[in-house]
Amino acid sequence: MKNRTMNFFKQMGPAWIISAVACGPATLASVSKAGAAYSYSLFWVVLLSAVLGTTAQYLAAKTGVLSGKGIIKTTEEYLGKTWAWILTIDALAATWLAAMVLMNALSGVFSVLIGIQTPFWGVFFGAAICLLLVGGGYRSFEFFCKLLVAFVVICFIVVLCMADIDSTKLVQGLIPSVSGGVDAALLAAAIMGGAVHVTIIGMHTYTVNERVWKIHDLPLARIDTLLSMGLAFGLYSAAIFLVSAAVLNPNQIVITKATDAALALAPLLGERAMLVFLIGLFAAALSTISPTFLAGAYFVSDKMGWGLAVKDKRFAAVIVAGCMLSMAGPFLKGGFFVLLPLMLALGLVGTPVILVILMYLLNRRRLGLHAPNGLFINVLGVLTIVVTTFLALRFLYTQIGGA
């Protein structure tokens, strides 16, 4: 029994890649800014993002397993070339926008760490990551980066245990509210976009196929997704949000840059809080950006019928193109701690398309014949579509001048 359990956990993995991307600098920026600015009032979005993110990733995993293909090719087979092109363009635009902003963050944090401010760090990191990805030697370094991120998250959890949480406001934060104006609408969309984003949803259909999972592996896919997105990502975002609400908001600290958010760790780490936070943020950006380049290559190569691995030179060429495009990221105007939430909010705008496609595919008798969606997962799927669409439209409405 023990060996069987250990073997079960060893087989897990695809959703953890997605969770690692979701637990990146953009989510950190969004939840910390939300907690510092609005106290506990957006806590409902933080918790709901973990629930709906888990739902979206399971729908993606199930589609990938049942079809045996990535989302682009599956969409083309069941919905035609037009919808496949719409989804490809949607996913690629969101993915490469994310890559540019993540490169902005990577370059910006590195500039602060070493004291040399220049946007040309993006050229250096873009070239280095490109060589590592195409050469296939990135995995061990990425693992090291994730250990650093995990350390920072542990720091937030420890600070959370030390913090004076206002239980009354915490309970009130569980009640959905849409007040707060333009900035609150942006942050709510960004928090949701960190978990329910077209890039990671689409990418998950490819990661399960790399594991060659079949229909009998669906229970494994459920556990994989629940533990990674539901538990790990949920704990990550909730801990950072609550620390910001409990530590930064009462002291009226407005987060406009990364060094402001680092003050949340001061109760635990004192003067070293800034350095530890920045190193963790740098590691998060570095380990998150590489799967983003791979996701872009998956989408383009799947649509064009190319191989889905770097051994296909065309797949590698798309990675190179994404890396080159990201080099322009550090030249974007605005601080990266402002751009990161905006990137997630814009990504959320393009996400309902893939959610609707997944629900349509999984409720088609031909695809879901041997593993039909039950009422519970369908209700969660519809809820995911409704909530993400509402938050995306609210964000757009406030940005064009709505109240």
pLDDT for res 304: 96
Termini Cα distance of the chain? 58
Residue 76, pLDDT above cutoff 70: yes
- Among 130-139, 234-243, 290-299, 315-324, whose mean pLDDT is lowest? 130-139
Domain ranges of the chain: 2-399
Q: Are 213 and 221 spatial neighbours (Cβ–Cβ below 8 Å)?
A: yes
What mean pLDDT do residues 94-120 have? Answer: 95
What mean pLDDT do residues 115-138 have? Answer: 89
Q: Are 59 and 209 spatial neighbours (Cβ–Cβ below 8 Å)?
A: no
Rounded-to-integer distance, Cα 312 and Cα 81, Å: 23
212-223: per-residue pLDDT in tens? 889 988 998 999
Per-residue pLDDT band at 129 (split at 50, 70, 90): very high
Residue 9, pLDDT above cutoff 60: no
pLDDT for res 181: 82
Residue 292, pLDDT above cutoff 90: yes
Rounded-to-integer distance, Cα 223 and Cα 357, Å: 23
pLDDT for res 20: 85
Rounded-to-integer distance, Cα 389 and Cα 348, Å: 8
* C-alpha neighbours within 13 Å on the C-beta side of residue 231: 9
Structure tokens at 114: 């070493």
What mean pLDDT do residues 162-174 have? Answer: 92
Residue 4, pLDDT above cutoff 90: no
37-65: per-residue pLDDT in tens? 999 999 999 999 999 999 999 999 999 99
296-350: per-residue pLDDT in tens? 999 999 999 999 999 999 999 999 999 999 999 999 988 899 999 999 999 999 9
Residue 102, pLDDT above cutoff 90: yes
pLDDT for res 363: 92
pLDDT for res 182: 86
Q: Residue 23 phi/psi, 5° resolution?
A: -85, 50
Structure tokens at 355: 């959610």
Per-residue pLDDT band at 286 (split at 50, 70, 90): confident
Per-residue pLDDT band at 154 (split at 50, 70, 90): confident
pLDDT for res 61: 96
The set of residues, in sequence order, having a beta carbon less than 8 Å from that of 317 and lying 6+ positions away, is none
Structure tokens at 293: 């380049």
What mean pLDDT do residues 2-30 have? Answer: 77
Q: 259-272 burial, b if ≥16 CB within 10 A, otherwise e? A: ebbbbbbbebbeee
Query: The domain 2-399 is classified under which CATH number: 3.40.50.2300, 3.30.360.10, 3.10.50.40, 1.20.1740.10?
Result: 1.20.1740.10
pLDDT for res 151: 83
CA-wise closest residue to 65 among 275, 242, 207, 251? 207
Structure tokens at 122: 């993006």
Q: Are 129 and 329 spatial neighbours (Cβ–Cβ below 8 Å)?
A: no
Q: What is the pTM of this model?
A: 0.93
What mean pLDDT do residues 116-135 have? Answer: 93
Per-residue pLDDT band at 3 (split at 50, 70, 90): low
What mean pLDDT do residues 100-124 have? Answer: 94
Rounded-to-integer distance, Cα 308 and Cα 303, Å: 11
Q: What is the DSSP string of 265-276?
A: GHHHHGGGHHHH
pLDDT for res 335: 87
- Among 64-68, 144-148, 278-282, whose mean pLDDT is lowest? 144-148
Per-residue pLDDT band at 142 (split at 50, 70, 90): low
